[in-house]
Amino acid sequence: MTDPRQAADRLIEIIGNRAEAEATVAVGRLELTRFANSFIHQNVGEEYVNVRLRVSADGRVATVTGNRGDAAALAKLAESALTVAATQPVDEDWPGLTAPIEIPPADFSHASTNDAVPAQRAAAVKAFVDAGEGLSAAGFCDTDSFAAAFANSAGHRAAARGSRATIDGIHQTGESAGAAHQTSNAFAELDGAAAGALAADRARRGMHAFDLKPGEYEVVLAPEPVATIAVFLDFYGLNGKACNEGQSFVELGAAQFDPRITLLDDPMGAGALGEAYDSEGTPKQKTVLVDAGTTKTVVHDRRSARRAGTATTGHAWAMSGSLGPLAGHVVVQPGTDSVDDMIAAVERGVYVATFNYCRILDPKSQVVTGLTRNGTFMIENGAITGAITNLRFTQSFVKALGPGNVLGVGSDLRYADSEFGQGVVRAPSLRLASWNFTGGAGG
């Protein structure tokens, strides 16, 4: 198997003094077990090599990617990068390379994930399925273990290891479905039975759903929809490029959120999934984005920081040149409220298990439209009284978390699936004073 450190060093050696260069190489194994109709129908494993090389030749910048780590492939990739760079205009915003800085090798991987075998994933799936007796289950369980390395022609080097394991699925009754999700760096921490029981409970409660009249309702949101809110705030707002271009909602130093809301990026915290450095080799660190309701900072890569006249925060990623820097380990700080207590405090409102197909309408106001899915319920007099058919919403995510609108913050912090996928956000449940439902799933 390709040694990522050797491959990254080799790319820099091939480029030599012909250009400034930075190389990132990740080598790993992804294994996936899928199930449908309560039976496993697919088990696959893939060893992968992801190579990214960025060069700047006389200010002409190009980025190329590849999926092979052998000497011939690396040499071809390097020459391709130089060829493409020669066709580009001079990039006036090229920020240069990260200077050498010591980053101790970081290992975020877990042995239970690294050593997981198909029979173990099958056992987790069986536990999920068995928790919904009489229902039809579908979903997946996967494990991903990787080693990564970074090198640039300024002499900077870094390396890391990581892992991620996920179980995600639904139970179906024939007229309703309920979903559940768990992600961890440790496969041993996944509880297929607990996930299956939650999905089954939501599916059974989801039967005999009725249509709810559109309007503004108090809501209790499970961690999944909260994760989607957080990732939209992150990607479209707390993004240095978006701020530089005047496309962000951010007002630094302003109390834009309720005092109960603290949002941070914690890439080195407990259960972290990724590297200790970004795609430019900058060390990652804990970054407080929103502190007790006050917007404190946005994230930067070297390019956006240069334009803003500040320093990078270590948030470059593969697409940050075009899409801007991204906080990839977001944490919505938990509170002390239990989900049951938050529901018990609602006189009339809606419980939402997941969002689906969310799309931004206006980045400046963070107005988003989307749907509820796989678990939407009526709350009356402090109890869930019945299922609601899926609803469309049109809601400003900033306003939803605004001052006075956050009535409860759950203690149930966990990795939650979001519109951008798993392993990006850790979130608790939230109780919000108002959410604007605009119609049914049809419009």
Give dist(CA 407, CA 384) in Å, integer.
Answer: 18
Residue 128, token pair as written in the block: 């999920």
Question: 111 and 139 in one domain?
Answer: yes
On whether both 219 and 182 belong to a single domain, the answer is no
Please state the φ and ψ torsions of residue 322, each to the nearest 5 degrees: -100, -35
Token pair in block for residue 144: 């991903």
Question: Are both 152 and 224 inside the same structural domain?
Answer: no
> Does residue 241 belong to any structural domain of this protein?
no
Residue 443: the pLDDT is: 58
Q: List, in sequence order, every residue forming a beta bridge with 36; answer none if it has no partner.
A: 39
Where is the domain boundary, 202, 222, 248? 202
Considering the domain architecture, whether residues 137 and 105 belong to the same structural domain is answered as yes
Q: What does the pLDDT average to over 134-140?
A: 98
In this structure, the answer to whether residues 144 and 225 fall within a common structural domain is no
Backbone dihedral angles phi then psi of residue 107, each to the nearest 5 degrees: -125, 100
| Same domain (yes/no): 112, 27 | yes
Asked, for residue 326, whether it belongs to a domain, the answer is no
Is residue 148 domain-shared with residue 221, that is, in the same domain? no
Same domain, 43 and 105: yes
For residue 379, tell me if it sits in a domain: yes
Please indicate, yes or no, if residue 298 is contained in any of the structural domains: no
pLDDT for the residue 441:
66
* Residue 140 counted as domain residue: yes
| Long-range Cβ contact pairs of 358-364 (< 8 A, separation 24 or more) | 358/228, 358/232, 358/419, 360/232, 360/236, 361/394, 363/236, 363/237, 363/242, 363/247, 363/248, 363/249, 364/247, 364/248, 364/249
Residue 217 lies in a domain: yes
CATH code of 197's domain:
3.30.2290.10
Please write the tens of the pLDDT for every residue from 74-124: 999 999 999 999 999 999 999 999 999 999 888 999 999 999 999 999 999
- Look up the domain containing 148 and give its range: 4-202
Bridge partner list, 60: 57, 90
At 420-436, the pLDDT tens digits run 889 999 999 999 999 99
Instruction: Please tell me the total count of domains within the chain.
Output: 2
Kindly state whether residue 179 falls inside one of the protein's structural domains: yes
Is 216 found in the same domain as 80? no
Can you point out the beta strands (E) in 13-122? 20-36, 39-57, 60-66, 106-107
Assess whether 153 and 223 both reside in one domain: no
Mean pLDDT of 266-274: 86
pLDDT digits 0-9 by tens, 224-234: 999 999 999 99
